[in-house]
Copies of this chain bind each other. A is one copy, B any other.
């Protein structure tokens, strides 16, 4: 390991025979210079391989040109797509996006955000975090935005409306003719309650039963483990909605290997519209929650906050029903 010290602005100044102030202005392109100085500067910087120390710059300017994004679980394609969208917009606006993974562990989130906050100009946090952390964030001198369902009106939140998402799916399934609904939710997520409200809002008036189950993590594996409980009930549902596509795919797969025909014996639907949902068998009916657009919108909004510009308007996120074969049953 070659621990050569990184060249500093002082090294450049000395080599070029100018003051450090001049180097600083040159590097930041803040004014014009005599040809002689410009040449010396360029040469010295090349020779030394100098580049600005972002830390030092941030210390004095108070601006990092970086934005932090803390997600619950990067292995969840929904979040990868949020990151994608956010990253694209950040880069296009001259910001770097630093992503940290919270590993679905709400507990350890505070130190993580404390480490991230001073290194960024703004923070995007996915999902519900304890109230004391939200308070701490609110007292920060930085813009903060949340991903998901608004729960407090003193913070900016971006996401599709969970009630609407669930209702959209339920409406379609009721119209299809399904009579007994199962919902395998994830009660540790705050929007689980909203999803349930959306489902009930549609199912109760329609006189349709709803059985509610829960997984302890929103993954394929959890779905696989959960589905037997649902399927073995005497009043087995004829359609099962998963907390998200991962859970639904896990359930559907396990149901098939248990010998059930999908969708004829039992139908499945998910939520998120992750890319892979199109490639499973049968292709999964789901609700598109605009993962990538969510990332784009939240990034545009937080950049507007950072730069004290008016909030961009007209950036609404409309969930869309994606109908595929996993719910295409013929009721004859």
Residue positions of A touching B, CB distance < 8 A = 1-6, 49, 51-56, 58-59, 64-66, 74-75, 77, 80-81, 83-84, 87-88, 91, 96-101, 103, 108, 112, 114-116, 118-119, 136, 138-141, 143, 220, 249-250, 253, 275-276, 278-281, 305
Q: Which has the most chain B C-beta neighbours within 10 Å: A59, A115, A139, A279?
A: A279
Contact A115-B249, Cβ < 8 Å, known A1-B305, A74-B83, A88-B103 = no
Q: Establish whether residues A6 and B118, one from each chain, have CB atoms under 8 Å apart when the complex forms.
A: yes
Q: Which residues of B contact A77 (CB under 8 A)?
A: 75, 77
| A276: chain B residues within 8 A (beta carbon) | 220, 249, 276, 279-280
User: Nearest B residue to A156 by beta-carbon distance?
Assistant: B1
Q: Which of chain B's residues have a CB closer than 8 A to the CB of A99?
A: 74, 98-101
Evaluate whether A55 and B140 lie within 8 angstroms (CB atoms) in the complex, with A99-B98, A99-B99, A99-B100 already known.
no
Q: Contacts of A80 on B, CB cut-off 8 Å?
A: 74-75, 80
The CA-CA distance from A160 to B149 in the complex, in Å, is 41
Check A96/B83 contact, CB under 8 A, given A55-B58, A75-B77: no
B114 near A51: Cβ-Cβ < 8 Å = yes
CB of A90 to closest CB in B, whole Å? 10
- Contact call A49/B136, Cβ cutoff below 8 A: yes
Return A318 CB to nearest CB of chain B, in Å: 22
**Can you name 7 extra interface pairs (CB under 8 A) apart from A1-B305, A55-B64, A119-B119?**
A54-B114, A84-B101, A88-B103, A96-B100, A96-B115, A98-B100, A276-B276
